[in-house]
Amino acid sequence: MEKSYSASYAAAGVDITAGYRAVELMKKHVARTRNEGCLDDVGGFGGCFGLPVAGMEEPVLVSGTDGCGTKVKLAILMDKHDTIGIDAVAMCVNDIICVGAKPLFFLDYIACGKNIPEKIAQIVAGVAEGCVQSGAALIGGETAEHPGMMPVEDYDLAGFAVGIVDKKKILDNSKMAAGDVVIALPSTGIHSNGFSLCRKVFDIDNNNPELYVPKAELGGKTTAEALLTPTKIYVKPVLALLEKVDVKGISHITGGGFYENIPRSIPDGLGAVIDRSAVKVLPIFELIAKTGNIPERDMFNTYNMGVGMSIVVPADQVETAIEVLKANGEDAYVIGKIVESAEKIVIE
């Protein structure tokens, strides 16, 4: 790579040597994510992965792709780039686990105004941490320098995950029935959705100084710190649950909040009745509602409100489910039930 340098390209705004430097800096982070399926190292033209299909009758690959939305804007303003990658991984792996799939590998894509190797390495460090938390290998990615397309300090981050599940174990909600129970897995905060509204409420685009004032209601954290808290990754606790309990359906609570996401795991003819008083709403959501004068209906239709994932299980397996989840670090609790209904969700 020593001879690979173009003065003309650099004059146009792209320093390819910075790309090489970024790759070298990120390699130690990528190495943390290697698992039994990895067949090569980062830097090739394609990431190779051997499928672990032993014991499966009919292996099915499950994929998911997403980004971090405008949460990236806050990371840029705070000049803190080592956690946003966790969000990118979480948004993908939390989706595919809803099908019952175990994540295998992840690839990221970073578009930036200027490739600053140390910053790119910080971003990838976060991606690697998300991969470690989910058991996925980071087998490749792309960093694209886009001078003139965005300011030099800006970047965007997205990625995709691939997982695997035996076809007979795919969660398809066909066995869900009235009387089943809805269990909540707590979120860590905003996760990666609704940041356009947060930006408006807290005047983030103008870098409102109030963002950096510690608040008692947030446990001494600043609003910016609370908002930037990484999305929780639920893969390992849910995989453990699937081994012990007859899970009927799983919903990842992302954009659209309760009203859009919980119904996605419920078949026609059934609906979820959510006990509003049971939902453990986090202080950051109360602050958003108060500061922006946001109606509660809109809050539940935009944010996770403290519930990052909902899981439907049979009533006679609720106790076991909560025990398994708590043994795997999740402070799970019941928030509702499944009933016969033409309305997919009611919060009362």
* The overall pTM is greater than 0.85: yes
Could you tell me how far CA 32 lies from the centroid of its own chain? 19
DSSP 8-state symbol, 303: S
Position 43 confidence tier, pLDDT thresholds 50, 70, 90 = low
For 246-292, how does the pLDDT look when each residue is reduced to its tens digit (9 = 90+)?
999 999 999 999 999 999 999 999 999 999 999 999 999 999 999 99
Contact between 272 and 300 under an 8 Å Cβ cutoff? The reply is no
What are the structure tokens assigned to 182, written together?
């809805």
- The pairs formed by 58-61 with CB atoms below 8 angstroms and a separation of 24 or more are 58/166, 58/167, 58/168, 59/164, 59/165, 59/166, 59/167, 60/101, 60/164, 60/165, 60/166, 60/167, 60/170, 61/162, 61/163, 61/164
d(CA 104, CA 293): 42
For 91-111, how does the pLDDT look when each residue is reduced to its tens digit (9 = 90+)?
999 999 999 999 999 999 999
Contact between 190 and 308 under an 8 Å Cβ cutoff? The reply is no
Contact between 127 and 231 under an 8 Å Cβ cutoff? The reply is no
Q: In what order do the strands lie in the sheet with 333-340?
A: 249-252, 307-313, 181-186, 333-340, 270-274, 345-347
pLDDT of residue 163 exceeding 90, the answer is yes
For 176-216, how does the pLDDT look when each residue is reduced to its tens digit (9 = 90+)?
999 999 999 999 999 999 999 999 999 999 999 999 999 99
**Residue found under tokens 């409420």:** 201
Q: Kindly report the CA angle at 230 between 228 and 231, in degrees rounded to 5?
A: 125
pLDDT at 27: 84
pLDDT at 297: 97
Contact between 109 and 159 under an 8 Å Cβ cutoff? The reply is yes
DSSP 8-state symbol, 187: -
- Count of Cβ atoms closer than 10 Å to residue 98 Cβ: 23
* First-to-last C-alpha distance (Å) of the chain: 62
What are the structure tokens assigned to 211, written together?
């963002």
* Torsion sign over Cα 9, 72, 194, 343: positive
Position 9 confidence tier, pLDDT thresholds 50, 70, 90 = low
- Count of Cβ atoms closer than 10 Å to residue 54 Cβ: 6
For 285-332, how does the pLDDT look when each residue is reduced to its tens digit (9 = 90+)?
999 999 999 999 999 999 999 999 999 999 999 999 999 999 999 999
